[in-house]
Structure formats: structure tokens, C-alpha cells
Structure 1
Amino acid sequence: MTRLSIQQILLITLILSLFSLMIWSQDFTQVAAGVALFLFGMTLLENGFKALSGGILERILKVSTARQSQSVAFGLASTTLMQSSSLVSLITVSFVSAQMITLAAGIGIIMGANLGTTTGAWLMAGFGLKVDIAAYALPLLVIGVLLQLQKGQKLRGLGAILLGIAFLFLGIHYMKLGFESLQGTFDLSAYAMTGLLGVLVFTLIGMIITTIMQSSHASLLIIISALATGQVSYENALALAIGANLGSTITIVIGAMAANAWGKRLAWSHVVFNIGTALIAIVFINVFVWLVDGLAGLLGIAPDNYLLKLALFHTLFNLTGVLLLWPFVPNLADGLTCWVSEKQVAREQPRFVLASAISSGDTARQAVALEVGHLFDNSYGLIAQGIGLRRSVIESEESLTTAVQNTRRFMPLDLDGDYEQKVKNLHNAIVEFIGQAQQQGLPESVTENLYQLRRASLNSVQAVKAIKHMHKNLVRYGVSDQAAVRQKYDMMRIALAKLLRALRRHMQADKPLPSDQMAAFFSHWQQQIDDTSRQVQAGLDQDIRQRALSAYIATSIMNDEMYWRGLANHLLLAMQLFNEAQKTSAKADNQSELDAVPPTF
């Protein structure tokens, strides 16, 4: 059974279970609807901030991580503002993977993001459950929808933020109502557990809840709502909060699965930090409870105000984790760098340009042609990965436009390492082989043929170099929520994917294209490249004036269009040179056959 089918079965099972529970209990329906509204609100809030910032978050992240204190402050401030530690964590994974910030800086941001989640607990405990929050949601809903109908990207982003806040408020409201109603029909507090066993069991439950919902904020809301209505005891709520913290590591681990070694190192640092913090909180939970009671008195929090005391506990154990790990961040970064090693990609060995192939001009020419084809195949695969598509998609009959538009995520790839192992090494071998072959006194026609193949190899290499540069911005902007940005990058990706498909088919053909067909092919794709280039550049100035694009992102698009155009032209030229070399080789073979036929009289 495939992984996809297992996911489908689990999803169907979850839907049927929820549907059954909602039919069985109207109160559960209110709680479930509240969770759904809250999660939807968080999604809108994330999308709104991403659209409104126009890359500002990434720019601030890049320049605000010079010191560890700045990294922690950035993580704290950005998570407090957006109420989404997962968004901040995933952006940080991307930046660390691309080595735009150091691993130590990334760890600092993760620590700050953990602290930032505590602000959500304070807001929910101190405000969300004590007033009629739904009354504030409705005006925000109206204004948010009105702004969403506007054309300006910034206005729509602001509208998404207001809608997100409105749905957060509605989610809190319905969860509060649901738990209050549930209290009269089903008493969850009857299952309360005390002692170490209770702490461990409820920590596990909190972890499972967060893992399922992929949101520690939503988990905390459930915990606070259940505590407010007496459905869970204060002691068990503390354990649930510890579990929610642990469960939040799953999001970043999933996000880093496709990342390179640097992204995985950051994910492991998050796991180490959260597990370490959770262990400290569990082992010293009685000490933390004593500290919370003492601090609550100093802060004027009533002894029976368990909601605010839970928020204080959540802040206290996260702050303790940050303070304890702070001096050891450089050591942790060094340790993870050694422990999570770079994926060792086997150096691609030449298959055809071997010493035995230099015995004659014909064998040398054939060996180089086959090796250039080998190099082109590797280059083609890396470029396909670089634009976020699988080889199988390009080699199929699937719509490339649909495949590009359905892309949901770009994760950084180690294209530098792959280039060294799979492309440059082969090109070096080709150049060295041709140099050795020339010493054998080859005919001029063979030498010229080898030069053409070497130039074809070089152009393939240059194409891969271009995708290395372009891929970094595809990770950042390739699936941007800004329609103007996404459209520009989709244009380039679609055109390049179509070119790759066409080149692949011709490279696999049994015979080289005749000169007239090759000229028509080259002219057609040159026109396609020029047309796409004009479409990408068109309207950039207007988008900047109308604030649909920031100048920062617009210049990135201009640079990437230059890389893209160079990449496409290098691929075309590689194909043309390879085709010409194959034709020359075929003519030479035919002439050799004619020369071998004895004359008849």
C-alpha cells in the first residue's frame, strides 16, 4: 500500500469519526467548529502578513541576526505579531538551508519563537475567555471582506489579517460555548490523574493534540477553554501545555524533511530544545508550580485564577529553557554540524571517456558524444529539480502549466553539491579526455568535432550554474502569496519546463535533426524565450508604482529573468552544438563506409 493511500485512509477515518461525534453531540460540534474557525483564522493571518510584508519579514530576518540576542528578539517579536511560530520556523529553515543566516542564528530565532507562543496564551487567558469576543469579530469580518474585494495587494493583505483575527475571535467564542455546554452532559474532569503518571499521560495527550492540528496556539486554546470550564484540572492543564510545546516540533521536522543538511540541523535543534525544556518542566513541575504561585502573588493574579497562572507557567518553563540553552547555542550548532553530516552524494564517474577509447579518432569521438549525453542528462535532472518539478512529470504527457501552478512549496536543494558531483566532475573528465586525445594526432575533422562536443558540455555546465542562482529566489518567491510575484516566476518555470521536455525528446532521438529542422527548432525556441522574457519584464515598473510589488522583489525578478534567459539559451546552444557534432560524426562514418567499399570495374 502506498504512502498516499495510507494518508487517504487516515483522512477518511478522521472525517467519519468527527462526523459521527458531531451527530452524537451538538456540544462537540461547537467545540470542533471553534477549532476549525481558529485554525482557518490562523491561516488567513499568516497569508495576510506574508502578502502585506512583501518580503519585509525575510529582509528583516536576514539583517537582524548578527547577534544571538537579536535572533531571539526577532523570533519573539515576529511570532508575537503573527501568532504563528510555524510560519517563522519554516522561513528560518529556508534561510538556514540556503546559508543566508548561520545555524546558531536560526537556533536563536527558534528559541524566540517558542517564547512568542506564550503571548498567545496570555491573550487567550487574559482576554479571550473573559469578554464577549464575538462582538468584536463581526465588525472585523465586515471590514475584512470589504478589503479582500479590492485589487491592491496591500489592501487585500490587510483584509486577510482582519478576517484572520475575526475568525480567531469566533473560534475562541464557539470553543468557549462548546465546553460550557459539554460540562452539563459530559464531565472530562472525572478522568483527571494526579502524580507523575498524570503528568506523563497528559503531556502525551497534549503532544498528540498539537501533532494532529499542527498548531500549538490551537492546542493552548483548547487547554485554556477546557480549564476555564472545569473540564480539566489545573495540574493536568499544566501537563497538557508541556505536551503542546513538544508537539510543535512536528511542524518544523516535516518542513525540514526535504531540506538539505543545514535545514535538518535546525529542525533537530528545535527537537533538542523542546525535549530538553519539557524534561526540565516535568522533573521540576512542583518547583515551577511553587514559582508560579509566588510570581502570581507579586503580579496581583488571584490564587484561583488558573487561566492566568497557566499562561504564567507556560512562559516560565519556556523562558527557563531559553536561559539554560543560551550559553550553549554555539556548542549545539557545532555538535549538530558534526552529527547531521552532509549527504554524501557519490561522485558521478565518467562512463565513456576512458583511456581505452583513445585508440582511434572514431572511438574517441563516440566516447565524448556519449559522455556529453550523460552530462546533459544529469544537468537536465538538476534543472528540473531546481524549478520544483520531477523528471517523471517533464517526461510524461502531463500539463506542465498545471504542474507548475499546483506547486505548493519549494524547499532548498543542495544544488552546489550536486553540481560538483554530477556535472562539473563529468565536464572535467571530458575536457581532460579531449586534451589527451589531441596528442594522438587525430584528423582535423575529428578534432573539430570534439571541440563542438566540448562547447556543448560547457553550455550544459553554464545552464546548471544559472539554476543554482535562480533556485535561491524560487525558494523565497516561487510560491509567493503575492499574485504578481507568483505569476512572473510561474511564467519562467513553465517556459523552461516546456523547453526541457522538447530538448529531452530530441536528445533521445535515433538520428540528429537535419540542418533545416534544427534551424527551425532553434528559431522557434529563441522566439519563445524572447516572448517570455518580455512578458516577465512587462509591467514591473507599473507594479512598483501601484505597490503591487516592492522594488526589492522587483529587482530579484529582474535578476532571475536574466539567469533564466541565460539558462534557456545555454540549453538551446548545447542542443545545437551536440546535434551538429552528431551530424558531422554521421557524415564521417558514412564516408568511412564508402572508402571501405572496393572499387568495381
Structure 2
Amino acid sequence: AVIQSSSATTVMVIGFVNAGLMSLGQAAGVIMGANIGTTMTAQLIAFNLTDYAPLAVGIGVAMWLTAKKKRLKHTAEILVGFGILFIGMDMMGSGLKPLAELQAFKDIMISLNNPVLGMLVGLGMTTLIQSSSASIGVLQALAGQGLININIAFPILFGDNIGTTTTGLISSIGANKTAKRAAVLHFLFNLIGTILFMTVLRLPIQALVLKISPNDIQRQIANAHTFFNLINVIIQLPFASLLVKIAEKLVTGEDDEVKYASQYLDYRIIETPSIAIGQVNKEVARMGDIVLENLNDVELLFVDEAYDKMDEIFEKEQLINRIEREITDYLVNLSKASLSDSQHHHIDNLFYAVNDIERIGDHIENLAELSKSNQESGLRFSEEASEELKLMFSKSKEAFKYAMIAFRDMDFDSAIKVQALEEEVDRLEKQNRDNHIGRLSKDMCITSVGITFLDGLSNLERISDHSFNISQYVLDEFKNK
């Protein structure tokens, strides 16, 4: 009822299901509720408040220009929207009036006395417009000008309710299997309802709406639309679990495991920024988990010569890069949505955090490349160098781990710990460089392997620097609250 579109609500639901925020059973309930809510548009149009529309627009514009609070501005936008709705309906009605004189139009109207043909026209019209509210508005405008009667309007109205499901079906293309089932469930729900009303309930409902509003055909259409969706929900709600099972039978199979793509990002929910931002947070946390796995593996590779880890590290680095690109593209699109100041600020921090996590992945790749060079040259670190590297790895990993805990949980204490660890890594890096120079002067170390050692220290120090940056974004979020 709030967004005046069951199609838009269904697309959002499909996005939530695809992102794992909603189960198929929950989606069924929301879809049924959306079908009832969307009938409010037709009821509003039936009030025929055209004479007051310019006044609503004028008051709305004046409020919008003078209001300082966002709530008042939103109220003003609602007034302007309602005013434009009724002005548009009046203009459309006036434009349709001359059709009554056209013989071709009269012939078409006569052919629509066939209920099945009328239903197909409604289905096709809503499929093209992608909005049952808009197509029913056109139907009310035609009826208001005396171009169609209630006998013709009813089948078209029922067809509109099937046509509105095509938006969800189209939206589900590229989504996971559960999201596809949600779209199919919406189609089944409206199809079954249409069959019931076309075969059993049409005449009783038609008699009821004629009795309620005998002289107002626009209200008759609005009431018929409301009764259709309300009664359809009452009849089918007890069988919602059965509808879910049928949808699962029609859309079979399991989703393929996604290895080289994001798992939580869905462009269908960008219009709901608070939820979309939450999904980005989950994807960034997932990206951090993969980077931490690679950091653990590269320690085994770099220090303990576990060369069997090398290919896996490079493969995960490719995955990390792709996730980073997908998150960045998603954030660019999300930043264009209607956002609050705090949401804009959080998105800016997400851009920076994703970049820092990706850079940590790059430093891990650098360490793997250094190990590959050692393997090819047959070089090994001395026992002292290996112990120093293990300590550096331990502190760098700890810094990154606490940085990701701070990010995931918005944990102030973990963010503070990262700062202390970053300082300790800086101290260790300088100390280990000095130790290495001492070993070189005593001929205890080969120069070529020493270069790899120093490069390794540098990469580990940079990992702690990027971890520090992530912790700073978390602390910045606390300052912005």
C-alpha cells in the first residue's frame, strides 16, 4: 500500500530471497499481502478528487520549498504525488473520450465481450506496462468515459492480476533457485485466483460491487479489484505451504556453489539502501575471511615451504579481486540511491575498507611470488630468520583478524587493539631488519635469500598498515554516530 505497487514489492521480495534474507515461506506471505496492498491505488483513483488536485500540488510544492525537516519534505512529496496522480488521470480520461466515436474502437469493445479474450487483453496490457495499478487506472479511465461496461471490465481486471506477475518472473532471471520459486509462486497464486473468479466467483462478486456502488463504475472496478485480492488471499492462505511445495516441484535442483563471485549482493534491493548496505557489509566480511585464509596459507608457504599451497593461494587471489570489483560496482550503484547523510558516509568507508582488504590480498600474492622464487632457486631461510618471520606473521595476522572483527561487529575495543598491534609490527620490522644486517656482516646469511627476507618483512608490515586503516574506518563510524 505504501509504495503502491505489488510488482515493485515482489521484485524486492525476490531480491531478499536471492540474498538469503527471506525464506520461500516468508515470501509467500509478503506476496499475498502485497496483492491486497496494491488495491489502494484503484480505490484512491475512484474518489475522483480531480478538483482538489491542483490545490494538493500547490500546497505540496510550497511545503517542500519552505520545509527544513526531511519528514515535512517527504510529506510534501506525497501531496504532490497524489495531486499529479489525479491530474494525470483526468488528462488521460479526456484524451480517451474521442475513442467513443471511432468505429474500430467500438468493434474492439464488442469483441471483448468474450471473457477469455478480455482476460488475455488485461494480461498483455499489464505485461507491457509492468504495473497492474497503472493498467487498472487505464481501465478506470476508460470506464469513466463510458467506453466500457462492467461486463467487459471484469475479465480485463482478472487478466491484469496475472500480468503483474511477469515483472517478478523477469526479475528472477539470473537469481538463485529459491528466488525463481518465489516468482513462480506469485504467478501460481494469481493464476489460481483468476481461474476461481472467472469460473465460480465472477457473478457473485459482480452482483456485490453493483449493489455497493450501483452508479459509479470506477468504484465498481476498484471494489472488484479489492475483493479479488482479498478473497484470493483468504482462500489460498491456508494452502500457502502447498503452493511453496508446488513452486519447488516446478523449479527443481539446487543452486550451484558460487566460487568466483559475490554471494550477498543483489541489485534488486538497492532501492532499500539500509538492507543493501547490510548485504555489502556481509560480502566485505566474507571477502575478509577469504583473505585471512590466504594469509594463513601463505605463512605455511613462505616460512615452512608448503609449496602445495601455492596454486590455491593464487586462485583465491583471483576470487578476491573479482569480489572487490563486484562490491565496488555495487557500491557505485548504491551511492546513486536515495541515502541519508550517515549512509553516504558509511558507503565512503566501505569503498576504502574494500580497497584495503584487496591490497592485503595483493601483499599475500607478493609473498607467494617470493616463495616461488625461493623454490625455483633452491634457497631457504636460516633458522633465526624463520623464527623472526613467524613472529611477524603472527602479529600481522592478529592485526588483520581484529580489524575484521571490528568491522563485522562494529567493535570499538577490537579497533583499538589493531592500533597497538600495528605499532608492534612496525617495531618488529625495524628490529628484524637490523638483525638481518647483523647476520649479513657475520656471513651468516646469503644475500639473495636476504633480499627475499626483507621483501617479506615489508609486505607483512604493509598488511598491518592496511589493517590499521580498516580499524580507523570503524572508529570513524563511532565518531559519526
Partners of 2:304 and 2:118 in 1: CA distance: 75
Partners of 2:85 and 2:4 in 1: CA distance: 11
Alpha carbons of 1:260 and 1:176: their partners in 2 closer, same or farther (altered >3 Å)?
same
Aligned residue runs from structure 1 range 384-533, under 5 A: 448-450=304-306, 453=309, 481-484=338-341, 485-493=343-351, 495-496=353-354, 500=358, 503=361, 507=365, 512=370, 515=452, 527=465, 530-531=468-469, 533=471
By how many angstroms is 1:192 displaced?
A: 0.9
Letter paired with 1:489: I
Partners of 1:258 and 1:410 in 2: CA distance: 18
Classify the secondary structure of the residue corresponding to 2:146.
coil
- Tell me, yes or no, if structure 1 residue 235 matches structure 2 residue 142: no
Which residue is 1:174 aligned to?
91
Which residue is 2:123 aligned to?
207
- Tell me, yes or no, if structure 1 residue 291 matches structure 2 residue 148: no
- 1:164-199 Cα distance to aligned partner (Å, 9 max, x none): 333323322322332235556787344213577x32
**Structure 1 vs Structure 2: percent identity of aligned residues?**
22
Which residue is 2:12 aligned to?
91
By how many angstroms is 1:258 displaced?
A: 3.4
Alpha carbons of 1:235 and 1:520: their partners in 2 closer, same or farther (altered >3 Å)?
farther
Q: 43, 50, 53: which is aligned to 1:122?
A: 43
Partners of 1:188 and 1:487 in 2: CA distance: 56
Which residue is 2:135 aligned to?
219
Which residue is 1:138 aligned to?
57
Q: 22, 26, 29: which is aligned to 1:105?
A: 26
* 8 A contact 1:189–1:232 mirrored in 2: no
By how many angstroms is 1:247 displaced?
A: 1.4
- Tell me, yes or no, if structure 1 residue 268 matches structure 2 residue 184: yes
Partners of 1:212 and 1:251 in 2: CA distance: 10
Aligned residue runs from structure 1 range 549-564, under 5 A: none
Partners of 1:509 and 1:199 in 2: CA distance: 72
Classify the secondary structure of the residue corresponding to 1:134.
helix
Alpha carbons of 1:511 and 1:139: their partners in 2 closer, same or farther (altered >3 Å)?
same
Letter paired with 2:203: V
- 1:349-394 Cα distance to aligned partner (Å, 9 max, x none): xxxxxxxxxxxxxxxxxxxxxxxxxxxxx5xx335x65679xxxxx
Under a length normalisation based on structure 1, what TM-score does the superposition of the two structures give?
A: 0.51
By how many angstroms is 1:229 displaced?
A: 0.6
Partners of 2:462 and 2:303 in 1: CA distance: 30
Alpha carbons of 1:343 and 1:500: their partners in 2 closer, same or farther (altered >3 Å)?
farther
Which residue is 2:411 aligned to?
none
- 1:4-51 Cα distance to aligned partner (Å, 9 max, x none): xxxxxxxxxxxxxxxxxxxxxxxxxxxxxxxxxxxxxxxxxxxxxxxx
* 8 A contact 1:145–1:163 mirrored in 2: no
* 8 A contact 1:96–1:103 mirrored in 2: yes
Partners of 1:180 and 1:508 in 2: CA distance: 73
Letter paired with 1:292: Q
Alpha carbons of 1:207 and 1:483: their partners in 2 closer, same or farther (altered >3 Å)?
same
By how many angstroms is 1:318 displaced?
A: 2.3
Aligned residue runs from structure 1 range 278-427, under 5 A: 278-284=194-200, 287-297=201-211, 299=212, 301-302=213-214, 304-345=215-256, 378=259, 381-383=260-262
Partners of 1:328 and 1:291 in 2: CA distance: 22
* 8 A contact 1:103–1:262 mirrored in 2: yes
Letter paired with 2:15: S
Alpha carbons of 1:451 and 1:276: their partners in 2 closer, same or farther (altered >3 Å)?
same
* 8 A contact 2:58–2:80 mirrored in 1: no
* 8 A contact 2:209–2:220 mirrored in 1: no
* 8 A contact 2:64–2:76 mirrored in 1: yes
Structure 1 residue runs without a partner (length 5+): 1-79, 348-377, 390-403, 435-444, 545-601
* 8 A contact 1:216–1:245 mirrored in 2: yes
Which residue is 2:388 aligned to?
none
Letter paired with 2:42: A
Q: What count of residue pairs does the alignment treat as equivalent?
A: 376
Classify the secondary structure of the residue corresponding to 2:254.
coil
Classify the secondary structure of the residue corresponding to 1:132.
helix
By how many angstroms is 1:248 displaced?
A: 0.9
* 8 A contact 1:137–1:170 mirrored in 2: no
Classify the secondary structure of the residue corresponding to 2:38.
helix
Classify the secondary structure of the residue corresponding to 1:268.
helix
Partners of 1:119 and 1:81 in 2: CA distance: 9
Structure 2 residue runs without a partner (length 5+): 374-450
Partners of 1:519 and 1:155 in 2: CA distance: 57
Letter paired with 1:265: R
Alpha carbons of 1:339 and 1:493: their partners in 2 closer, same or farther (altered >3 Å)?
farther
Alpha carbons of 1:155 and 1:511: their partners in 2 closer, same or farther (altered >3 Å)?
same
By how many angstroms is 1:260 displaced?
A: 2.1
Partners of 1:124 and 1:331 in 2: CA distance: 35
Alpha carbons of 1:296 and 1:133: their partners in 2 closer, same or farther (altered >3 Å)?
same
Under a length normalisation based on structure 2, what TM-score does the superposition of the two structures give?
A: 0.63
By how many angstroms is 1:106 displaced?
A: 1.6
More off after superposition, 484-493 vs 222-231: 484-493
* 8 A contact 2:357–2:466 mirrored in 1: no
Letter paired with 2:354: L
By how many angstroms is 1:219 displaced?
A: 0.9
Partners of 1:446 and 1:176 in 2: CA distance: 76
* 8 A contact 2:57–2:80 mirrored in 1: no
- Tell me, yes or no, if structure 1 residue 538 matches structure 2 residue 476: yes
- 1:65-105 Cα distance to aligned partner (Å, 9 max, x none): xxxxxxxxxxxxxxx23322233223322333344443222
> How much is the aligned-residue C-alpha RMSD, in angstroms?
4.8
Classify the secondary structure of the residue corresponding to 1:259.
coil
Name the larger-Rg structure. 2
* 8 A contact 1:203–1:240 mirrored in 2: yes
By how many angstroms is 1:504 displaced?
A: 6.2
Partners of 2:468 and 2:479 in 1: CA distance: 19
- 1:533-560 Cα distance to aligned partner (Å, 9 max, x none): 5356536555x5xxxxxxxxxxxxxxxx
Alpha carbons of 1:268 and 1:382: their partners in 2 closer, same or farther (altered >3 Å)?
same
By how many angstroms is 1:525 displaced?
A: 6.4
By how many angstroms is 1:111 displaced?
A: 1.2
